[in-house]
């Protein structure tokens, strides 16, 4: 990818695609992680004499502008984080009004455009919108790693029309995740959890041949346990993935580690009755909602001495404290490796779990892009990354 240093930005207006798709409640930003993550790139460009025009999407508006998807609340957060005024441009990004507003920007000034998904052409990568957006800058920087897997107008579209470079966040993410695919230090241990095998199939497939151990947890464990002929009661299962799980077990059985015990519940509720049972003997009418204590210990042991670790997906229904122990145990075991290993956590839920455990600072890299990080690890080419080459 082209780097920021290769781009001439002094005295230029730089259009920067950021990922400010943040949770907002009653007009208040609930989590500023993504705004903070964009600061190094913005500060770098400002220090080099650029004026900045920032664009992002927020949520999934379907029919044009809608107040609840407005980026206005983000402008205030950014202003505080950046320590300088941020001009919010409320007109549609494609409008003449927006073009006039950005033309008056001076070096060192920052403007944030309204949600690009208010434009019907954004997700279609419509050529007219690409032209209109390209007119807003002299150069383009893509820093929205979380959107890099989208071939949208504001991501890969404008890159084709302006001199461009990858921002620091995009660059770091791609480097950090690529280390998991190319020549990882060994032993290499991957932990995969979450609800469904079907969401993670391609990642599992691409990583299994490269790893020494893959530890399975979360709802998806029961599809594997069923494939081995275990009793799973009312646990989550994807019947159409059982044959595939069986095939993986046959081919990679020595690398795949499955839970031996589980925390079973009589219903899906925070105050359900619970029992620790063998993972392949969930009683009729009960459901497994977490890995059990024996499995948590075994997984922590399997992580000891690892030199490369990737974790995606919770081990159980960690939103309910009664089923969070397995996920917390994995968070602790990953964090305990400290700088003895290269550790990466990706995907919204595992990131919140590591944050909740207070151990985030001990992890080598926390990925800000859920879908994008998975697609990269599936071995797919991301349109945004390709456009920066």
* Binding test (CB under 6 A) with ligand AMP, winner from 79, 123, 131, 199: 199
User: C-beta of 102: minimal distance to ligand AMP in Å?
Assistant: 38
* Binding test (CB under 6 A) with ligand AMP, winner from 319, 379, 381, 389: 319
CA separation for the pair 207, 224 (Å, rounded): 17
Residue 371 CB-density burial (10 A; 0-12 exposed, 13-18 middle, 19+ buried):
middle
Q: Residues 64-103 vs ligand AMP: string with x where CB under 6 A? A: ----------------------------------------
Q: Which is nearer to ligand AMP, 262 or 382 (CB)?
A: 262
CA separation for the pair 110, 81 (Å, rounded): 13
User: C-beta of 288: minimal distance to ligand AMP in Å?
Assistant: 5
Q: Which is nearer to ligand AMP, 219 or 230 (CB)?
A: 219
Q: Does 258 bind ligand AMP (CB under 6 A)?
A: no
Q: Does 212 bind ligand AMP (CB under 6 A)?
A: no
The residues carrying an active-site annotation are: 34, 196, 348, 371
Contact 383, 150 (CB under 8 A): yes
- Cα–Cα nearest to 322, from 281, 374, 287, 363: 287
- Cα–Cα nearest to 309, from 214, 173, 206: 214
User: C-beta of 319: minimal distance to ligand AMP in Å?
Assistant: 5
Q: Does 378 bind ligand AMP (CB under 6 A)?
A: no
Q: Does 288 bind ligand AMP (CB under 6 A)?
A: yes
* Binding test (CB under 6 A) with ligand AMP, winner from 73, 121, 137, 314: 314
Contact 177, 376 (CB under 8 A): yes
Q: Applying CB under 6 A, which part among 47-55, 76-84, 88-96, 189-197 lies near ligand AMP?
A: 189-197
- Cα–Cα nearest to 152, from 241, 80, 65, 56: 56
**Which residue is nearest to ligand AMP, using beta carbons?**
194
Q: Applying CB under 6 A, which part among 26-34, 155-163, 249-257, 309-317 lies near ligand AMP?
A: 309-317
- Binding residues for ligand AMP, rule CB under 6 A, total 16
Q: Applying CB under 6 A, which part among 30-38, 75-83, 103-111, 191-199 lies near ligand AMP?
A: 191-199
Residues that bind ligand AMP (CB under 6 A): 194-196, 199, 218-219, 236, 288-289, 313-314, 316-317, 319, 347, 349
């Amino acid at each position: 990818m082209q780097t920021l240093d290769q781009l001439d930005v002094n005295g230029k207006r730089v259009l920067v695609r950021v990922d400010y798709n943040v949770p907002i409640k009653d007009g208040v930003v609930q989590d500023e992680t993504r705004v903070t993550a964009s600061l190094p790139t913005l500060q770098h460009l400002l220090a080099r004499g650029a004026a900045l025009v920032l664009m992002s999407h927020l949520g999934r508006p379907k029919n044009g502008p809608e107040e609840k998807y407005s980026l206005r609340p983000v402008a205030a957060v950014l202003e505080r984080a950046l320590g300088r005024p941020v001009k919010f441009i409320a007109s549609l990004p494609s409008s003449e009004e927006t073009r006039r507003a950005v033309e008056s920007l001076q070096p060192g000034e920052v403007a944030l455009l309204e949600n690009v998904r208010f434009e019907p052409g954004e997700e279609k990568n419509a050529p007219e919108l690409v032209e209109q957006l390209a007119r807003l800058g002299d150069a383009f920087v893509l820093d929205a790693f979380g959107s890099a897997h989208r071939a949208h107008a504001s991501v890969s579209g404008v890159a084709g029309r302006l001199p461009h470079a990858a921002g620091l966040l995009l660059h770091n993410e791609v480097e950090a995740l690529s280390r998991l695919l190319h020549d990882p230090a060994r032993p290499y241990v991957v932990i995969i959890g979450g609800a469904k095998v079907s969401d993670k199939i391609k990642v599992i497939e691409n990583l299994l041949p490269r790893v020494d151990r893959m530890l399975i947890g979360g709802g998806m464990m029961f599809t594997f346990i069923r494939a081995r002929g275990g009793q799973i009661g009312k646990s989550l299962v994807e019947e159409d993935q059982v044959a595939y799980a069986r095939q993986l077990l046959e081919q990679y059985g020595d690398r795949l580690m499955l839970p031996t015990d589980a925390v079973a519940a009589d219903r899906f509720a925070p105050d359900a009755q619970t029992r620790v049972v063998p993972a392949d003997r969930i009683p009729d009418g009960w459901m497994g909602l977490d890995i059990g204590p024996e499995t948590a210990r075994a997984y922590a042991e399997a992580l000891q001495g690892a030199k490369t670790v990737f974790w995606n997906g919770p081990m159980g229904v960690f939103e309910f404290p009664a089923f969070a122990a397995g996920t917390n145990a994995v968070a602790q075991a990953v964090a305990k490796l400290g700088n003895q290993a290269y550790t990466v956590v990706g995907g919204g839920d595992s990131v919140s779990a590591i944050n909740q455990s207070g151990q985030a600072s001990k992890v080598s890299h926390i990925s800000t892009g859920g879908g994008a990080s998975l697609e990269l690890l599936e071995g797919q080419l991301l349109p945004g990354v390709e456009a920066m080459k």
